[in-house]
A and B are shown apart, each in its own frame.
Chain A
Amino acid sequence: MSFLRVVFGKLSHYRSFYKFTGLHGVAILALAYIASSFSSVDVNGQAMPFAVWFEYPAAFGTVAVLARWLFYIPAFFTVQLVASELELKIVRAQIIAGWEHRDVVIGWLLQSLLLVLIGLSFAVITVAVLGRANANGTIDVTAALKVALGFVIYGMGFLSFAVLAAAVLRRPVPALVFLCLWPLMIEPLVGYGLERAELIGWRDFMPFATFGTLVPWPGSEAFDPASTKTFVALGYAVLANVLTWAKLSSGDQ
């Protein structure tokens, strides 16, 4: 309970928290609205192939994919907050007050979970607003829960890397740059290097590539909670948190 008190205490009076989460919610709704309006456009009298993407149960997957693209918003907030806590020596004060290094990491994990659940709530609201009944008139709750599970693991993985970047670099701007460059440049370049080294298929198991498979496009291979990639993604999330703990523990605060 004390962890929750700390997380709620610091976030509930923080204006940036409301700005970032509000932006995340509006962005998910706006992007999904734009996408859904395209899906309803007929071309030469024929519906576009993605017209069904906002029908249940595909709507869950579609909105989840759009929402995961926008996960940079809570990730930026996380980086800013964690870097500030380190820069302002608040983490140091928490340790002096009795927290262990692992408690600091647990606090950040709970903070990440809160942001992921808020993102998930926005996604669910967006599906409720924009989702359309399919021909059968069913929603398929199991499929929806599977998408939600994949989304939560994806979010925790992404935000764990955001926390790690902030903990290692200790400044918001370099951490944000690193977080942007990793999936967009570093991982593709490393993947290219792996393929040149004839390590075919390894690039699919790099952190963000693996996270991406947790929230797939409707129509592509569905998320399987028991798949190897799910466990690899969970492993990366755990590894990021262990590395954050190791970084905190290894030096003076």
Chain B
Amino acid sequence: MSQVLSIEGLRKTYDRKLVLKGLSLSVAAGQVFGLLGPNGSGKTTTLGIVLGVVRAGGGRFGWFGSGNGGRERKRIGSLLEQPCFYPWLSGRVNLRVFAAVKGLADASLDEPLATVGLSVAADQAFGTYSLGMKQRLGIAAALLGKPEVLVLDEPTNGVDAQGIFEIREIIMEYGRRGGTVILASHMLDEVEKVCSHVAILKDGEVLKTGTIAAVLSTKGWIEAAAADLSALERRLKEIEPLARVERRGGLLEIYDAQRSPGEINAKLAAEGVVLEHLARKQPSLETQYLQLVKGSLS
């Protein structure tokens, strides 16, 4: 799969504070790639650098395996932070101006306007738009000329619930058609629903990157209970000598077990231990993400 974006050792300093500490990641064609991290983790700065509006303090990056200039940016549809348009121009004329900037003289304006549900308000001045409408126009501008890559920074900011649903649908549909999407968000729920791959950022560094399933999953633990919990604990330590067994209320939690719950149950049953409760448990994605950004996950 060809590389759409590769970033190596990106660094950026604001007021002597290092906000990007040698950040590296790569996005392949066809991925819906999430940049997930809390506010101030470096998501927008990273996108600002790769979109040519923030100067990097070090490192390098390249689009489509070649350069990082205007020619490459014209192949990308982007919405970085808030949408910026001429307030006195209508949505449609603003799109026409930006189509000219991108060198898309003949680009259809009706299609992106219809996609984001702005056909009716297209001839109103941008300055009269609500926050949600502005955001929709920003996405329409990003969709101009059907770009190869969509780069969206917090695209559902200020949008109502229906709008959020529609924007997520647009992104997923884009991904389903084989387009590459890079989506920055601090909302785990959004990234989880929309993205195939993710990089988790914290303090200007990538903590983890890979598929959503690989990054946001752990082995979890096994819960077990029996009438005599102490006897069960002793037996478990014999069966699973390498596992960590912890008592929590009326339950035992078995971490790093080498056997499956079924195997453990069979072993215990063979030794005459009857279980009252046996279950595999996994932390919620939210818990895993929070553990990850708090640095508490090994």
* Residues on A facing B (Cβ under 8 Å): 1-2, 5-6, 9-10, 13-16, 88-90, 92-100, 103, 251-253
Contact: B53 with A95, CB < 8 Å?
yes
| B18 interface residue (CB < 8 Å to A) | no
Contact check, B84 vs A90: say whether CB atoms are below 8 A apart.
yes
Q: Does B242 interact with chain A (Cβ within 8 Å)?
A: no
Residue picked from A88, A92, A96, A100, most chain B C-beta under 10 Å = A96
Residues of chain B from 225 to 244 with CB closer than 8 A to chain A in the complex: none
Interface residues of B in 53-110 (CB under 8 A from A): 53-55, 69-71, 73-74, 78, 80, 82-90, 93, 96-98, 100-103, 105
Q: Is the CB of A98 within 8 A of B97?
A: no
Given A5-B105, A6-B100, A9-B96: A99 and B89 within 8 A (CB)?
Answer: no
CB pairs A–B below 8 angstroms (19 shown):
A10-B86, A10-B89, A14-B86, A88-B86, A89-B84, A92-B53, A93-B85, A94-B101, A96-B53, A96-B78, A98-B73, A98-B74, A98-B101, A99-B70, A100-B69, A252-B53, A252-B54, A252-B55, A253-B54
Q: Which residues of B contact A9 (CB under 8 A)?
A: 89, 93, 96-97, 100
Main secondary structure, interface of B, reads: loop
Distance of B21 from chain A, by nearest CB (Å)? 18
A101–B55 Cα distance when bound, in Å, is: 13
Q: Determine whether the beta carbon of B53 is less than 8 Å from that of A97.
A: no
From A2, A16, A251, contact of B101 by CB (8 A): A2
Closest residue of chain B to A90 (Cβ to Cβ) is B84
A89–B100 Cα gap in the complex (Å)? Answer: 18
> Does B262 sit within 8 A of A, measured CB to CB?
no
- Residues in A with CB closer than 8 Å to B40 are none
Q: Are A96 and B73 in contact (CB under 8 A)?
A: yes
Are A96 and B93 touching (Cβ within 8 A)?
Answer: no
Q: Is the CB of B80 within 8 A of A96?
A: yes
Report B-chain residues with C-beta under 8 Å of the C-beta of A15: 88
